[in-house]
Amino acid sequence: MNLRNWSKEHTLGLLLGLFTIIIMIPILIFVLDKLENHLMWHLDEHKGKLISLACIANLPAFHLFMKKEKYNYCMGLILATFVGLFVMFYFKY
């Protein structure tokens, strides 16, 4: 898995991972707001935690691509998770 040999599969895995994170954030906000009514008032404090929880949603796709030996898609998902990690650190610190 080398970044010098970037392919369409890497890009699709990266876009799938970023799309999954972006879709999961509003879903997590909705679910956690139903569990805790005060979440929306303190959303600035929980941005990093929400992004880290949304990154976990990439695990089923990662596992599926690993079982099918589609390693380029897996590399894209890993890169999307790293992007989520950097955004999480930006909001946390």
For 12-69, the pLDDT digits (tens) are 999 999 999 999 988 988 888 787 766 565 666 778 888 888 999 999 999 999 999 9
Q: pTM of whole model > 0.95?
A: no
Is the pLDDT at 90 greater than 60? The verdict is yes
Instruction: Look at residue 51 in the predicted model and tell me its pLDDT.
Output: 87
Please report the pLDDT score of residue 2 as a whole number.
62
**CA dist., res. 24 & res. 52, Å (int):** 10
| Contact by Cβ (8 Å): 49, 20 | no
As a whole number of angstroms, the distance between CA 84 and CA 45 comes to 17
